[in-house]
Amino acid sequence: MSDSGSVVAAMRRVRSFVLRQGRMTDGQRRMLEKHWLHFGIERQDDVLDLGKLFGRSAPQIVEIGFGMGRTLAQMARDNAEQDYLGIEVHQPGVASLLRNLDEEAINNVRVIRDDAVEVLEQNIAAHSLAAVHLYFPDPWPKRRHHKRRIVQPAFIDLVVSRLQAGGVFHMATDWEDYAHHAMAMLSACPELINCAGERQFSPRPDYRPLTKFEQRGQRLGHGVWDLIFERCTDVIDG
């Protein structure tokens, strides 16, 4: 097994999510049935040709765990010159995003319903992405569950291997402990540069919409931490 394969195999033994499908409404079920063929991608073993899927050459961005999809839909609508691949395991969230894409006539998003780690490893070409977004991942707050947090050295190495030189990894979390955990992990990667300066958190960029959840949290005095790291431009791609 290759080094890359060993890394991903190790990650698969401890998943960062628990599959809670929840109850799908009739409307969500109809959205899946009606729009999956257009927006959805069934996983195969080969690398995706995203340019062919979108019918153009454009910056390609992956969002991991888009939840109900409101942020992803808004970013895609506001940045029509970019193409987005959303990865989510929960069907109600996928259905909700498909509804938003249809209602707002957004065509620069495609969706995969699967494990993001496996998708990145098996289906995304090396050094092909302009950005990877990870917004509000499960913080697994109990210490004994910290091993389930998706941001670990092996995951960071995988993300870096899929970013173009100058590509960006952007994480946001409302758990301060997780923010500092991620800061330590990302700062230790020699192929990444902190866009805000060493050990500094970034202000929320304009392209990341302020969610209702964040607005409510701000009123209650809760914090949100953004971490934006760029892949070094002087790395020689192998």
Active site residue 177: no
Would you state the pLDDT for residue 189? 97
Would you state the pLDDT for residue 148? 86
Q: How far apart are CA 167 and CA 231, in angstroms?
A: 5
Q: Does domain 3-13+57-231 have CATH number 3.40.640.10?
A: no
Would you state the pLDDT for residue 212? 78
Distances (CA, A) of 105 to 51, 72, 100, 142: 20, 14, 8, 41
* C-alpha closest to that of 61 among 88, 36, 86: 86
Reported pTM = 0.88
pLDDT in tens, 78-131: 999 999 999 999 999 999 999 999 999 999 999 999 999 999 999 999 999 999
Q: How far apart are CA 77 and CA 183, in angstroms?
A: 30
Q: How far apart are CA 79 and CA 89, in angstroms?
A: 24
Would you state the pLDDT for residue 225? 96
Would you state the pLDDT for residue 207? 96
* C-alpha closest to that of 169 among 95, 81, 230, 82: 230
Would you state the pLDDT for residue 219? 81
Q: How far apart are CA 84 and CA 67, in angstroms?
A: 15
Catalytic residue among 114, 138, 157, 174, which? 138
Extract the residue ranges of the chain whose pLDDT is less than 70. Answer: 1-22, 145, 234-238
Annotate 22-41 with DSSP letters as a single string.
Answer: -PPPHHHHHHHHHHHHHHB-
Would you state the pLDDT for residue 98? 96
Would you state the pLDDT for residue 39? 96
How do the domains of the chain map onto residue ranges?
3-13+57-231
